[in-house]
Amino acid sequence: MKHTWAMAIDLDRCTGCGACVVACNAENNIPTIGETEAGKNRLMHWIRVNRYWEGEFPEAQAVYLPMPCMQCERAPCELVCPVYATYHNEDGLNAMVYNRCIGTRYCANNCPYSVRVFNWYDYKWEKPLDEQLSPDLTVRSRGVMEKCTFCIQRIRRAKETAAEEGREIRDGDVVPACAQTCPPGALLFGDLADPHSEITRKLKDPRRFRLMEHLGTEPRVVYLKRQKGAGR
Ligand code: SF4
């Protein structure tokens, strides 16, 4: 069965706690770079939480917008990679082949959402943090671009389990680390190819919108507008 993986982000629920960022770091072997490198804008996070302010002091309110890779159907990053290191996989996701990447960073420059990050170093994990590295995916080397994969290792595992049990993947079998961790349940992941999935139902909400829709990138990450206030 062909899948159309997508993520819905309910801005009414996001409280900006950052748990999704921490969970993503732990799941995907993302290094902590420290203050100096962060000051040079060399952050390695695969998901960030943008903060904006609405209104004027003293009524000003913070508004949060989690930003993973948008997994664009028509991805501008793929068009400019000279070595096809970034490509559309069989599920329509925007995937990376790390050992093909030669580090031109053209893809990052062409991403309108600024969600691709570059390995400036061979990062080290101090003991005992090296013992929590996940064996399900590689640690990327210096000179290689990386980004959110919708936790592709979890998608693979769910497919393998379903195949072993002789069935199709069920709704809820795949939950990326960020969605699994989000305390108020702001992130929902699922298959739009399944007409009965929760995400298919959720995305009928009239609050739905996609970032920079006018660019025609057709993101697979869909937001639900704020209406009631954070943490609703
Ligand atoms: S974990 Fe959930 S509530 Fe916290 S910042 Fe991420 S999306 Fe928002």
Q: What is the pLDDT of residues 23-61, one digit of tens each?
A: 999 999 999 999 999 999 999 999 999 999 988 989 898
Counting ligand 1 atoms within 8 A of each CB, the residue from 14, 47, 48, 52 with the most, and so the one to mutate, is 14
How far does residue 179's CA lie from ligand 1's centre (Å)? 8
Ligand 1 atom closest to Cα of 18? 5
HEC-encoded secondary structure of 158-170: HHHHHHHCCCCCC
- Could you tell me which of 31, 24, 26 has the C-alpha nearest to residue 149? 24
What's the gap between Cα 45 and its chain centre? 10
Q: How confident is the model over 205-231, as pLDDT tens digits?
A: 999 999 999 999 999 999 999 986 655
Q: How confident is the model over 93-123, as pLDDT tens digits?
A: 999 999 999 999 999 999 999 999 999 999 9
**Cα distances (angstroms) measured from residue 170 to each of 9, 15, 69, 165:** 21, 29, 24, 12
Ligand 1 atom closest to Cα of 47? 6
How far does residue 64's CA lie from ligand 1's centre (Å)? 8
Q: How confident is the model over 115-172, as pLDDT tens digits?
A: 999 999 999 898 998 999 999 988 899 999 999 999 999 999 999 999 999 999 999 9
What is the pLDDT at residue 106?
98
pTM: 0.94
- Could you tell me which of 204, 167, 173, 205 has the C-alpha nearest to residue 189? 173
